[in-house]
Structure formats: C-alpha cells, structure tokens
C-alpha cells in the first residue's frame, strides 16, 4: 500500500497525516486479526524544502512500526507528474494547495503591481485581482486532480484539507475551524475501509 503526502513541509508536523494513516491501517488489520500490509510512505514538497528534519522523522516512523513501513521523499511540484500510473492508494494534502503554480496570468497581462501604494487604486483593482487568483486556483486545482487520477489505483482515496472562505471579511469564528477539521478527519479515518 502506498501513501503520499503532497506538500508535506518540514518540522514536527511533516509526517502527522501519514502517521495517522499508517496507524489507522494497522489498527484496522489488527482488529480483524490479520497482518497489516507493507506500507510505503512518500513525502513530497518543493526542492527548496528543508528535508533534513523530514528525513529524521521518517526514520523514527520506520523504527516505531512493527510491520514494514518503507519511506522516502520526492522533491518537486505537485502540479507536475510525480508518481507512476496506478501506484497510489492514499493521497493526503493538507494546507498546501493554496500555493499556486505561478502568479495569476490576469495580473501579469494587465501589468498590475503586487502592491499598489495608493489604497484607492488597490480597492478599485480588488475585484480583478480576486478574479485572477480564483481563475489561477481553478486551473491549478484541476491540473492537480488530473495528475492524481493517473497516479492513483482504482478505488484509491484522497484527503485534501484547504481553508477557504466566500468573502473577504475575516471573522473571529474562523479560528475554531481547525479543531472542527481535525474532528472530521478523525471520524473519516475511523470509518475508512482499507483494501
């Protein structure tokens, strides 16, 4: 079974998602008194990521499991092909897909500077800027999904967490959202059927 975390970052949280997945797989098989399958965990991020801490975490993950867990890192953009066809059983991506593949074309074509000094000009251009970013996100997310479809096994699963909002107003209610997302993911993991 192959698990990939796309946009793993670095630091102590780099293996958090895959660790939960590996534990859930092992618990599922132990519940039915079956040996867990061999698991391959592959972490991806851009080449500039500091993979040193990630590699140390992966060594800890391999040593902490009684069954076979193979690990590796794969530098590169998740907006490009990363894996062989039909090889991934579970794909995770948490708080990474908001990073776009490039600056929105609509902004560069109109030669709009990233930060206008004049607040009036910024407010006037805001709808155009928001539309350009939304359009670039749609292109990138569509590309991301098209690539993963090729790389995943039939019946494979994908878990994507991505913060978003439907307005430009930041409310204090946004903060508890992360706790809510964590609860949902825990429930989803507990109900997953592993093949």
pLDDT digits (tens, 9 = 90+) for 150-170: 999 999 999 998 877 666 655
The pTM score is: 0.78
Lowest-confidence region among 6-15, 80-89, 165-174:
165-174
pLDDT of residue 169: 57
* CB neighbour list of residue 7: distance below 8 Å, 6 or more residues apart: 44, 45, 78, 93, 94, 95, 96, 97, 99
Structure tokens at 45: 């991020």
pLDDT of residue 195: 46
**Is 2-98+151-191 in CATH node 2.160.10.10?**
no
Cα distances (angstroms) measured from residue 95 to each of 18, 24, 142, 153: 14, 21, 17, 24
Q: What is the mean pLDDT of residues 183-192?
A: 62
Q: Distance from first CA to last CA of the chain, Å, rounded? A: 9
Between 144 and 131, whose confidence is greater?
144
Q: 3, exposed or middle or buried, with CB in 10 Å at 0-12, 13-18, 19+?
A: buried
DSSP assignment letter at 192: P
Domain residue ranges of the chain, discontinuous segments joined by +: 2-98+151-191
């Amino acid at each position: 079974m192959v698990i990939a975390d796309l946009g793993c970052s670095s630091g102590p949280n780099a293996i958090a998602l895959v660790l939960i997945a590996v534990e859930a797989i092992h618990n599922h098989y132990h519940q039915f008194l079956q040996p867990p399958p061999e698991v391959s965990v592959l972490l991806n991020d851009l080449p500039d990521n500091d993979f040193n801490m990630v590699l140390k975490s992966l060594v800890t993950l391999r040593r902490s499991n009684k069954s076979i867990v193979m690990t590796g890192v794969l530098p590169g953009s998740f907006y490009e092909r990363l894996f062989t066809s039909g090889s991934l059983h579970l794909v995770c991506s948490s708080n990474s897909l908001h990073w776009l593949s490039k600056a929105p074309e609509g902004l560069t074509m109109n030669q709009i500077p990233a930060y206008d000094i004049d607040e009036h000009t910024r407010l006037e251009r805001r709808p155009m800027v928001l539309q350009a970013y939304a359009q670039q996100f749609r292109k990138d997310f569509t590309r991301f999904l098209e690539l993963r479809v090729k790389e995943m096994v039939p019946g494979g699963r994908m878990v994507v967490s991505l913060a978003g909002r439907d307005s430009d107003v930041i409310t204090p209610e946004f903060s508890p959202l992360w706790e809510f997302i964590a609860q949902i993911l825990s429930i989803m993991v507990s109900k997953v059927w592993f093949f």
